[in-house]
Structures are given as C-alpha cells and as structure tokens.
Amino acid sequence: MNDLHDLTLILQSRFPLVVIETHEEPRILALLEQAANLENWALFVWSIADGLRRSNNSQPVSQTYTFLDALRHIDKTPQNGLYVMLDAHPYLDDPVNARLIREIAMEHGKAARTLVFVSPRFELNTELSRMSARFQLSVPDLAAIQALLREEMQLWQQQGGEAVRGEKEALNLLARHLAGMALDDARRLARQAIRDDGLITRQDVERVLRYKYDALGAGSVLSLELDTASFAQVGGVKRLKHWLALRREVFVGEGGAGLQAPKGIMLLGVQGSGKSLAAKAVAGAWGVPLLRLDFATLYNKFFGETERNLREALASAEAMAPCVLWIDEIEKGLASDSSGGTDGGVSRRVLGTLLTWLSERKGRVFIVATANDIEQLPPELIRKGRLDEIFFVDLPDAPTRAEIFAIHLVRRELKAEGFDLAALADAADGFSGAEIEQAVVSALYEAHARQTALDQDLLLAEVGRTRPLSVVMAERVAALREWAADRTVPAN
C-alpha cells in the first residue's frame, strides 16, 4: 500500500472533510507535508496547545487557540489549503462548531479549504459524514516487520558489540505478532525486546501479546490466556492431534496452493474429558495467542448492546490474529427457545451476528468451541462450512487412562515408573481425565496427612472411593456417547 499516493488521491478528489483515525500523529503529519509540497498546497496545523500555525512558520495565527476561533478564522480567510485539526473530537458536540464545519465544507467549491481531522478516535454526525472521506495508515506486514527486526538487531550489535541471541521460534513468533501493529508501536516493542537483555525469548512474545490485548480494551468480554498447554499435557485425542498437525503450517504460515486457513472445530464430550485443556493446547501447539470469549459478560439489558459487545469482541479477536478464539460451553450462550420468546430474541440476534462473522471474517481466527450438550445448539451453527469438524472427546480408554495418570504424577514431581499404571488404569475404568487428576490430588492429601509418600495402595484406595460421572449419571452419559457415535469424529 502506498500511503502517500492514497492520501494525495483523497485530497485531490476535493473532499472538504478528511478524517484520519490514528495514534501515529508524527507519521501522518509528515505524509501530509509531503502531499502538500508535491501539490503546492498551503498547510496549516491546529492544536489546542499551539493554536493555528503554518507548517513552516513557528508563529501562530493570532486569536486561533480555541477550536471555535480557529474555525472562524478558516471560515473567513481567503487562503486555500489544508487545515489539519489535531484532537478536535472533544469539540464536535457543540452545535456552533458543527455548524461552522458544515459551512466551511459547503463553501469548498468556491474556496478549497480542506479540513483534515487527525485523532485516535473521531466520529462526525450524519450531515458532515456525507461530505467526508476517511484515510487509514497502512500497517506493516510480516516482511516489513522482519526487516525492522533485522535493522534493530544490527543497531544493537553496532552499539553493544554483541549479536542478538535467542530462540529462532521465539523470533518468528515475535515478528508474526508485531505484524499488523502501528509502525511506531512495533518498533518500540521490538527495541524493548532486544535491549532488555540482548535475547529474544518467549517472555518477549508474551509482552507483545499483552500490549496488543491491553491496547484493544476488550478485557471485559475477551480474556487473554497466556498459560496455554502443550499437547504433551493432554492424554489421548490422537486423531485430533493429527488433524491439527496437518493444518498448522497453513494457519500460521503462508498457506498452501488452493488451501484456505482452517476455520475452527467443535469439541463435544463428557464433562471433565479434557475439552478445555485441548482448546488451550491448540494455541500452544500452533504458537498463537489464545483468547477466551465469555458469553456471560456479553449480555446486557439494553436493546442492541449484547450484539454490539459481540461485534466488538470479534473485531478485537481479528486484531489479535493469528489467534485461537476459545468459546467454552457455547450451548449456554446460544441455546434458547427457537422462537426467541424467552429472552426477547437476544439469543437469536447473537447467533445471527456470530454466523455473519463466521461467513465474512478475513482475519486468521481459529474457533475452538466446546460443548457438553450439542443438541441444544442451533443446526445452522454446527453445519459444515461454519466450522471444519466436530470432534467427540470420549471417556479415555485403558492406555489413555494410564497416560493421564503418568502426566499428573510427573506434574507433581513423582516418578511414574514407581507405579503400576496399568493396574491404576483398570481400576479407574469409566473415569474422565479430570476425575483421574482429582484422585491423584486426593491421594496426595491422604499421604500428607499420614506423613508418608504417595504409593500404589493409596492411589488405588482413592480410586475405589470415587464414583465417576459415568456411574452417577450413567443414563445421560450413555445417551451422549450413543448420539455422538455416528454423528461426530472420534478425537481419540
């Protein structure tokens, strides 16, 4: 994208009002000065601190410090040119200011005085919007960020005499997550990562992710999960792991010939079977941020606010792309009376907003939706095309139960070799992964109370005392497994 060409084209098109929303004020002022010099236009800049000044003159025009006085001067002056108004957004609610802006715009055919509003956020009313054009600065792509990182690393070496060290994967992740950010922000974060200790590490990547997330201001609806699991912590689900491994490079890389980035998956399963852990592991395995969408925080009593909250959350997710968007227990947020009578139609409108975004999104946002009861979900959400696949995470079989016991013993700094994992797996028939973990935890408490080490007998005794969900709610679990048998893809 050629910013100078595109900005000049807008200005040449004789729009009386131009709106530029950006945090990179020095960059846009330099572009405006270039455009003015190329086209031989006069350039004036106004701010509440300095008043109205010509770009090459340090003296302000008299009596133009307030926004109203500056507009009155522009309205009466015969001087054509570009009048750049910095941070004018607080003054637009005043009807006198709005009327003056409109009068200047309507006179543009006689006197070519173009008002250029530069501010981080800027909204014109309906009457003024129809006379305006918007310009957006381009953001650096991956190649530009890689060049920026090389430049900063060379500068560090020239100044300090040592080459930047670190993990290659961390450097690739850093570049990928800096891409799409404002150029100045990307340079500052790259410099911070390099000059902290001369190393590029995962901690630097997490700092960038946290900065991007905080800048979006989506904390009430979206949460950033930095503690993403690896698939080494997930027992079983071999088919799911294979499916994701085949698609990793297409999602995080440049893609393959004729291949589109994968859209997402639905994870259905018995409670405690590891669906949430698997969702975290997708982000960890692919090396992308994990965002969690909480449907409970979306809902608002005012009409239209719930849908707006969802649109803003989805837009924030696209700004964090490539990323994984985890929607946990999605049926609780979308399941409702199909007529919309129980909640005034809010759930149906939320569903419509989500379906539209799933069809039209452009960013690489991979959905991982988890559900305990898929029959509550509307069919238009789970049909092929919205998501790529529906996986059923069943209760673990004997080898997987043994693997899960080993994972939780090692996580607690115990040697799995000291236990008969096969015997434990047989005793825990019908247990979910969460129930196996709790058996290990409870046995550890028992060992602590007895002031002894955890052993096979204590674990077997705890397993024997536990009544798993597959026994307590046997009919419902059996019905779910039967329903999923011919309708989903086994994750194990």
Distance CA 452, CA 447 (A): 5
| Final residue before a domain boundary, out of 393, 412, 436 | 393
Question: What is the rounded average pLDDT of the residues 264-281?
Answer: 86
pLDDT digits (tens, 9 = 90+) for 388-422: 999 998 899 999 999 999 999 998 999 999 999 99
For residues 131 and 148, membership in a common domain is answered with: no
Closest alpha carbon to 229 in 407, 380, 486: 407
The b/e string for 343-362 (b: 16+ C-beta within 10 A; e otherwise) is eeebbbbbbebbeebbeebe
Same structural domain, 21 and 101 = yes
349 or 402, which is more confident? 402
116 and 192 assigned to the same domain = no
Other C-beta atoms lying within 10 Å of the C-beta of residue 217: 10
Is the domain of 307 the same as that of 435?
no
Q: Where are the beta strands (DSSP E) in 104-207?
A: 113-119, 132-135, 165-166, 199-200
Q: Average pLDDT, stretch 166-171?
A: 82
340 SS3 class: coil
User: Do both 374 and 419 map to the same domain?
Assistant: no
pLDDT computed for residue 350 by the predictor: 82
The amino acid that residue 147 corresponds to is: A
Same domain flag for 274 and 346: yes
Over residues 284-309, the mean pLDDT reads: 76
Long-range pairs of 427-430 with CB within 8 A, sequence gap ≥ 24: 427/460, 427/463, 427/464, 428/401, 428/463, 428/468, 429/398, 429/401, 430/395, 430/468, 430/470, 430/471
Shared domain check, 99 and 177: no
Whole-number Å distance between alpha carbons of 358 and 354? 6
Q: Is 229 helix (H, G, I), strand (E, B) or coil?
A: coil
Query: From CA 415, how far away is CA 212, in angstroms rounded?
Result: 40
* Segments forming the whole domain that contains residue 367: 231-393
Q: Looking at residue 338, what is its pLDDT?
A: 46
Termini Cα distance of the chain: 46
Boundary of a domain, candidates 71, 105, 135? 135
Residue 198 located in a structural domain: yes
How far, in whole angstroms, is CA 361 from its chain's centroid? Answer: 13
Same domain, yes or no: 369 and 277: yes
Cα–Cα dist 39/33, whole Å: 10
Evaluate whether residue 199 is within a structural domain: yes
Give the DSSP letter of residue 237: -
Report strand pairing: 222-225 vs 290-293.
antiparallel
Are 53 and 108 in the same domain? Answer: yes
Cα(334)–Cα(317) distance, integer angstroms: 19
Task: Check if the beta carbon of residue 110 is closer than 8 Å to that of residue 77.
Answer: no
| In a domain? residue 258 | yes
Would the pLDDT of 226 be above 80? no
Query: Angle 305-319/202-216 helices, nearest 10 degrees?
Result: 150
Do 175 and 291 fall into the same domain?
no
The pLDDT, as a whole number, for residue 132 is 94
User: Could you tell me the CATH number of the domain that includes residue 441?
Assistant: 1.10.8
In terms of C-beta density within 10 A (0-12 exposed, 13-18 middle, 19 or more buried), how is residue 5 classed? exposed
Does 482 fall in a domain? Answer: no
Total of domains in the chain? 4
Residue 445 has pLDDT above 80, yes or no: yes
Q: Are 154 and 121 in contact (CB under 8 A)?
A: no
Structure tokens at 171: 């450097």
Helix (H, G, I), strand (E, B) or coil at 253: coil
Q: Are 328 and 369 members of one domain?
A: yes
Q: Token pair of 48, please?
A: 């509440």
User: Residue written as tokens 């550890």?
Assistant: 444
Q: Where a domain ends, among 79, 111, 135?
A: 135
Taking residues 462-467, what's their average pLDDT?
93
Considering the domain architecture, whether residues 241 and 375 belong to the same structural domain is answered as yes
Percent of the chain having pLDDT more than 90?
Answer: 39
Report yes or no on 205 lying in a domain: yes
